[in-house]
A and B are shown apart, each in its own frame.
Chain A
Amino acid sequence: NAGVTQTPKFQVLKTGQSMTLQCAQDMNHEYMSWYRQDPGMGLRLIHYSVGAGITDQGEVPNGYNVSRSTTEDFPLRLLSAAPSQTSVYFCASSPGTGYYEQYFGPGTRLTVT
């Protein structure tokens, strides 16, 4: 069991570039989420999904898109990167209804110049 995996580990983008952060889990979890971590702000929810084909916005969704075509994968797309999106991004998964614990991936550190 690999758990929750994220790629890449590090990424540098120029303003205006687009990219996709990958997240995959092999635990057959229903729920998946993306968070960003910024100094002094804790972790803030960007988007989440409660199953394949179902996604919704979290606290800070602007500038990000998600889709969930399979149970395993939940990619996060930055459409046009901005310096304000410099952050560490964590993906998490959870079994689903009645289970509250989240399992976190190792994170992606993104710098936008």
Chain B
Amino acid sequence: AQSVSQHNHHVILSEAASLELGCNYSYGGTVNLFWYVQYPGQHLQLLLKYFSGDPLVKGIKGFEAEFIKSKFSFNLRKPSVQWSDTAEYFCAAYSGYALNFGKGTSLLVTP
């Protein structure tokens, strides 16, 4: 089954800094990848998804991710973070009938 790993468990950034969160998936072939966000006290929201086609995927709230097949990576980026981006971010891969999630990255954006 497809699995994912996230490199950074805790990230602290100042407002306006650029963000890149790492995600690697386990093996090649057809892959369907997602980034979800969970704001404090809330449930999961889909940020963006990649199924096929353009490897640069744009999502909501100014986030984007790049699928790099040669590196088995699907990193999440945002050019300039805001305090409201403080949240937990999860990378996930479709595997069979459900999703396999990474362990998550907790992002704290300081004013």
Contact A90 B103 (CB under 8 A): no
Cβ–Cβ < 8 Å partners of B100 in chain A: 45
Q: Please measure, in the bound complex, the distance between the C-alpha atom of A48 and the C-alpha atom of B97, giving whole angstroms.
A: 8
Q: How many Å from the CB of A90 to the closest CB on chain B?
A: 7
Which of A16-24, A36-44, A66-74, A78-86 participates in binding chain B? A36-44
Q: Please measure, in the bound complex, the distance between the C-alpha atom of A113 and the C-alpha atom of B99, giving whole angstroms.
A: 30
- Give the contacts of A7-41 with B (CB-CB under 8 A): 31, 33, 35, 40-41
Q: Which residues of B approach A to under 8 Å, CB–CB? A: 6, 9, 32, 34, 43-44, 46, 49, 51, 90, 92, 94, 97-104
Q: How many Å from the CB of A72 to the closest CB on chain B?
A: 18
Contact A50 B43 (CB under 8 A): no
Interface majority SS (helix, strand, loop, mixed), chain A: strand
Determine whether A106 belongs to the interface, using a CB cutoff of 8 Å to chain B. yes
Cβ–Cβ < 8 Å partners of B6 in chain A: 42
Q: Which residues of A approach B to under 8 Å, CB–CB? A: 31, 33, 35, 40-45, 48, 50, 56, 58, 90, 92, 94, 100-102, 104-107
Contact A104 B97 (CB under 8 A): no
Q: How many A-B residue pairs have CB under 8 A?
A: 51
Contact A90 B98 (CB under 8 A): no
Q: Please measure, in the bound complex, the distance between the C-alpha atom of A42 and the C-alpha atom of B2, giving whole angstroms.
A: 15
Q: How many Å from the CB of B60 to the closest CB on chain A?
A: 13
Cβ–Cβ < 8 Å partners of B43 in chain A: 90, 104-107
Q: Which of B44, B97, B98, B101 has the largest count of A CB atoms less than 10 A from its CB?
A: B98
Cβ–Cβ < 8 Å partners of A48 in chain B: 97-98
